[in-house]
Amino acid sequence: MIIELGAFALILALVFSVLQTGLSAVGGARRSAVLAGAGRGAALATFLCVAVTFAALVHAFVTSDFSVANVAANSHTAKPMLFKVAGAWGSHEGSMLLWCLVLTGYGAAMAVFGASLPPRLRAYAVAVQGALGIMFLAYTVFASNPMIRLVDPPVEGRSLNPLLQDWALAVHPPFLYAGYVGFSVVYSLAMGALIEGRVDAAWARWVRPWTLAAWSLLTIGITLGAFWAYYELGWGGWWFWDPVENASFMPWLIGAALLHSAIVLEKRGALPGWTVFLGLAAFTFSMLGAFLVRSGVLTSVHAFAVDPTRGVLLLMMMGVAAGSGFLLFALRAPSLNSGGLFAPVSRESAIVLNNIVLSTATATVLLGTLYPLIREAIDGEAVSVGPPFFNLTFTPVMLLALAILPAGPLLAWKRGDAGAVMRRLWVALAAAAVLGLVTYGLIVPRKALASAGVALGFWLIGGALAELAERVKLLRVPLAQTWRRATGLPRGAWGTTLAHAGMGVFVLGASFETAWRVEQAQALSLGQSFRLGAYSLTLQDVGTVEGPNYLAERGKVAIVDQAGRLVCAARPERRFYPTGGQTTSEVHICPKGLDDLYIVLGERRAGEGGKPAWLVRAYVNPWVRLIFLGPLLMALGGAISLSDRRIRLGVGRRASETAA
Amino acid sequence: MRGSSLGALRAFALTLTAVVCMAAASEPSERLPDPAQEARARTLFREVRCLVCQNESIDDSQAELAGDLRQIVRKEIAQGRTDAEVRAFLVARYGEFVLLKPPFSVGNAALWLAPAGLLLAGGGLLVALLRRRSAAGSAETAEVDALSAEEEARLAVLLEGDGHDCAEKGSQEDPPA
């Protein structure tokens, strides 16, 4: 019954989204507050209906209602509760419903919280958001409905892949979707502005909070995914340049570019066309991601949803949204007047450089991801583009942007003074160079490139701190006054500092981990040991344990340091899930400051003298925690910026006009 | 980040056996005795695709074919072949698909040159923008330099013609930092 209610609500949501689009569009065109208000009401109703459907699906998963095809295929009675709930978005159909929930949720948020927007822009944006809703809801209802019942329900479900029964992966999709579907609002606002024909500083001020929210959530989503890969896949990798990863990374890069160019538009009225273009591009990349991930056109390690029919539908939806967006852009772009002059050395120039680099990086990832398809279409040759390509192209391009990053926030608008900026940054630069040299000198084996990476990381952190010190006039005025200045700083400034420093933290971690990771693997019988860097590992015991829905072999590995002290008693597991007949490794990670000791128990085999032995693999991952801490700092910076008074109040003068 | 979307993880389950046991190349029984050669082999592994896997290098994959490929690479290295020779050998046998790092060739020129090309194009656009802007904005920046008679005349024309634009721009002038 509840499922039927959910299915009905989903169809109702589709009807409401049609109303939302129609009423808002007419309301905008005729400047009718009544119609626009009704459109907003419909937006709210759409969201509530999708929420009912989603709740019904979650209910079916929680109660293990295997008469629902989706539940039967993805759940199991013995599964822990968290993973039953997460199973609701663990399939193609369920995750599309989550997509719709987020999409309509943002539409409702725009309807409720968009009071500071000019009425016309708001009406048009709500209409466009509704049009996106129509497409995705129609797709969900007609081509990917999660509420379908089975005529002959099974007694037990087929369960979710055990690798995915993990807290990080349970919460990863909601964050990820809240992030990249969040760019739909930016798309809608861009469309609204283009329909109205007005893209100005005020528009940038309205777009920024939505971009910040979406980008920060996407950052958290990607980081959770990377963290999951790190500890769940059993060999410590965290980024693979897989097409599916790239699909979520491209909107992130474009979102970062948009965040910066919107500042230029807001403060200086420059780059309106480019900023709108990025606004359209961000969501286009999100939809491209949805297509790549679900169509099976690219070989990915995720290898899912090989359903060409659905792929074609998703491609068509992307074509309609992106096509109409960029067509409108092409028609309007010539009339967008770009004010705001600036000198070659200025903050505007720095941000334009940032945008050039981020766009190039995005294009590189896009080209690398699609190149196998392109080559195949051109001359039928099958080629692969993997991590070595991205490391050789993407990384140097990004390093360029990072090298000049600390100077950006210190440059004045319009015309900056490079000399003055260097006078403020030389301490940070010198400190970074010294730390890089120390790294080069002290850490064995010597690695010049990685040491340069370490210096770059410190340069970013030092640069961010130098900018903060400059703002509070540290050591140049009495401390009390510095304190007053610090407490009086706009939150946006703290956000910038934190996000830029977070980038540095990430670079430090990535440089260290990639260059100085230590790996060792050996088959050990009970009581045998091997050396791993400065540590010694002994396999003391292997026992059997029974989990809620698995059986496991659990090893006991004692790790001692050179002084003979016990550093960690690791309990890595090798689990067998009888439902699907799958085996997974449950690694044991011992944090040692910023480093991780990473222990994996492998399969049992015959050892010396016929005694059983287990393959034990172990890694020292130096500073690996920073890889995940850095992006979280960036997301936190975004959240702090979002809480800035200027953003909360929205728009200053024009807000009071529209409110009056 | 492996697992951008939980969508369709069901099918993912099919590839599970290939995914679970990663870092297969560290398998002790396969190693070459010479550590320098072994290190070279490991570097090469990361550039070679496991052909039957979804998207993995033979360094990571536990699949049987990946094991065979690792053995081939190790054997070639042990026989004193250079990295380039090993790559050429693999391409001759399995096609370009086997390399995760596409070789620089006519067919792949677009792929390898695009990033640098885009960066240069972007830089060029910025320079053009700044030139155009500084030409258009000469009236605004003229305050620093004394105006020539010709410029004075042009300024007068501009001020008469579209004075309000200049005045507005001027009022936005930030105090020097």
Segments making up each domain of chain A, as ranges = 1-165, 197-407, 417-515+626-633+651-659, 518-621
Q: What is the pLDDT of residues A212-221, one digit of tens each?
A: 999 999 999 9
The answer to whether the beta carbons of residues A362 and A327 sit under 8 Å apart is no
- Touching check for A416 and chain B: CB below 8 Å? yes
User: What is d(CA A570, CA A591) in angstroms, rounded to the nearest whole number?
Assistant: 11
Q: Which residues contact B162 (CB under 8 A, 6 or more apart)?
A: none
User: What is d(CA A586, CA B22) in angstroms, rounded to the nearest whole number?
Assistant: 12
Residue B151 CA: distances (Å) to CA of B28, B38, B142, B160: 79, 72, 9, 14
Backbone angles phi, psi at A490, to 5 degrees: -65, 150
Q: Chain A residues with CB inside 8 Å of B169's CB?
A: 339, 341
Q: What is the mean pLDDT of chain A?
A: 89
- Reduce the DSSP state of residue A317 to 3 states and report it: helix
- What is the ipTM score, two decimals? 0.82
User: What is d(CA A197, CA A393) in angstroms, rounded to the nearest whole number?
Assistant: 38
Interface A-B, measured as beta-carbon pairs within 8 A, has a size of: 263
- Identify residue B101 by its one-letter amino acid code: K
Give the pLDDT confidence score for residue B137 in this predicted structure: 55
- Touching check for A172 and chain B: CB below 8 Å? yes
Q: Chain A residues with CB inside 8 Å of B49's CB?
A: 384, 386
pLDDT category of residue A445 using cuts at 50, 70 and 90: confident
- The helix or strand, by DSSP H or E, that contains position A525, with its residue range, turns out to be strand A518-525
A421's tokens: 């900026």
Question: Which of A355, A356, A423 to mutate: most B Cβ within 10 Å?
Answer: A356
User: What is d(CA A130, CA A39) in angstroms, rounded to the nearest whole number?
Assistant: 9
Query: What would the DSSP string read from start to end of A100-166?
Result: HHHHHHHHHHHHHHGGGS-HHHHHHHHHHHHHHHHHHHHHHHHH--TTPBPSS--SS-----GGG-S
Give the pLDDT confidence score for residue A657 in this predicted structure: 39
Give the pLDDT confidence score for residue B150 in this predicted structure: 72
Helices then strands (H, E): number in chain A?
A: 21, 10
Which span out of A319-328, A597-606, B56-65, B105-114 was modeled with the highest average pLDDT?
A319-328
Q: Chain B residues with CB inside 8 Å of A237's CB?
A: 2, 22, 60
Give the pLDDT confidence score for residue B14 in this predicted structure: 34
User: What is d(CA B70, CA B62) in angstroms, rounded to the nearest whole number?
Assistant: 11
Q: How many CB atoms lie within 10 A of CB A155?
A: 7
pLDDT category of residue A488 using cuts at 50, 70 and 90: confident
User: What is d(CA A505, CA A528) in angstroms, rounded to the nearest whole number?
Assistant: 38
Q: What is the pLDDT of residues A164-176, one digit of tens each?
A: 788 888 899 999 9
pLDDT category of residue A301 using cuts at 50, 70 and 90: low
- Touching check for A157 and chain B: CB below 8 Å? no
Please tell me which of the candidates B7, B134, B136 has its beta carbon nearest to residue A293: B7
* Percent of chain B residues topping a pLDDT of 90: 23
CA distance A572 to chain B (A): 14
- Reduce the DSSP state of residue A306 to 3 states and report it: coil
What residue has token string 């010539």?
A334
Q: How many CB atoms lie within 10 A of CB A218?
A: 29
Going edge to edge, which strands form the sheet with A612-621?
Answer: A518-525, A612-621, A595-606, A588-592
Angle between helices A201-232 and A243-268 (to 10 degrees): 150
CA distance A57 to chain B (A): 15
Please tell me which of the candidates A95, A356, A386 has its beta carbon nearest to residue B126: A356
Give the pLDDT confidence score for residue A569 in this predicted structure: 93
Which of A19-28, A570-579, B74-83, B135-144 is least confident?
A: B135-144
- Identify residue A33 by its one-letter amino acid code: A
Q: pTM of the predicted model, to two decimals?
A: 0.89
What residue has token string 């700044």?
B130
Q: What is the pLDDT of residues A341-400, one digit of tens each?
A: 788 889 989 999 999 999 999 999 999 999 998 988 888 888 899 999 999 999 999 998
User: What is d(CA A353, CA A411) in angstroms, rounded to the nearest whole number?
Assistant: 13
Q: Which of residues 181-240 of A touch B (CB under 8 A)?
A: 222-223, 225-226, 228-229, 233-240
CA distance A643 to chain B (A): 26
Question: How many residues in total does chain B contain?
Answer: 177
Nearest residue on chain B to A394, judged by CA atoms? B115
Query: What would the DSSP string read from start to end of A545-565?
Result: EE-SS-EEEEEEEEEE-TT--
Nearest residue on chain A to B136, judged by CA atoms? A341
- Reduce the DSSP state of residue A307 to 3 states and report it: coil
Q: What is the pLDDT of residues A62-112, one digit of tens each?
A: 999 999 999 998 888 888 899 899 989 888 889 999 999 999 999 999 999
A443's tokens: 């850490």
What residue has token string 């703290």?
A494
- Identify residue A112 by its one-letter amino acid code: V
Q: Is the peptide bond before A445 cis (omega within 30 degrees of 0)?
A: yes
Which of A511-515, A532-536, B172-176 is least confident?
A: B172-176
Give the pLDDT confidence score for residue A644 in this predicted structure: 81
Q: Chain B residues with CB inside 8 Å of A161's CB?
A: 9-10, 12-13, 16
Residue A82 CA: distances (Å) to CA of A76, A79, A94, A170: 12, 8, 16, 8
Q: Which residue(s) pair with A532 in the sheet?
A: A535
- Touching check for A628 and chain B: CB below 8 Å? no
The answer to whether the beta carbons of residues A368 and A360 sit under 8 Å apart is no
Asked if the model's pLDDT at residue B161 lies above 60, the reply is no
Q: Chain B residues with CB inside 8 Å of A344's CB?
A: 130
Q: What is the pLDDT of residues A537-556, one digit of tens each?
A: 999 999 999 988 889 999 99
Using the 8-state DSSP alphabet, how is residue B173 labeled?
Answer: P
User: What is d(CA A597, CA A281) in angstroms, rounded to the nearest whole number?
Assistant: 41
Which of A78, A72, A85 has the alpha carbon at shortest distance from A146? A72
Q: Answer whether A293 sits within 8 Å of B5, measured CB to CB.
A: yes
Backbone angles phi, psi at A587, to 5 degrees: -75, 155
User: What is d(CA A229, CA A221) in angstroms, rounded to the nearest whole number?
Assistant: 13
Q: What is the mean pLDDT of chain B?
A: 72
Asked if the model's pLDDT at residue A653 lies above 70, the reply is no
- The helix or strand, by DSSP H or E, that contains position A603, with its residue range, turns out to be strand A595-606
Q: Chain A residues with CB inside 8 Å of B126's CB?
A: 349, 352-353, 356
Asked if the model's pLDDT at residue B162 lies above 60, the reply is no
Nearest residue on chain A to B171, judged by CA atoms? A340
Q: Which of residues 593-612 of A touch B (CB under 8 A)?
A: 602-603
Extract long-range pairs of A318-322: CB within 8 Å, 24+ residues apart: A318/A284, A318/A287, A318/A288, A318/A290, A318/A291, A320/A135, A321/A132, A321/A135, A321/A187, A321/A283, A321/A284, A321/A287, A322/A280, A322/A284, A322/A287
- The helix or strand, by DSSP H or E, that contains position A437, with its residue range, turns out to be helix A418-442
The answer to whether the beta carbons of residues A257 and A354 sit under 8 Å apart is yes
Nearest residue on chain A to B117, judged by CA atoms? A360
User: What is d(CA B80, CA A342) in angstroms, rounded to the nearest whole number?
Assistant: 59
Which of A452, A462, A404, A457 has the alpha carbon at shortest distance from A431? A462
- Touching check for A383 and chain B: CB below 8 Å? yes
Asked if the model's pLDDT at residue A645 lies above 80, the reply is no
Which of A632, A594, A641, A364 has the alpha carbon at shortest distance from A503? A632
Q: Chain B residues with CB inside 8 Å of A394's CB?
A: 115
In chain B, alpha helices (H): 9-14, 16-20, 35-45, 64-78, 83-94, 109-136, 138-141, 149-171
User: What is d(CA B121, CA B46) in angstroms, rounded to the nearest whole number?
Assistant: 32
Q: Is the CA virtual torsion A604, A607, A611, A616 positive or negative? A: negative
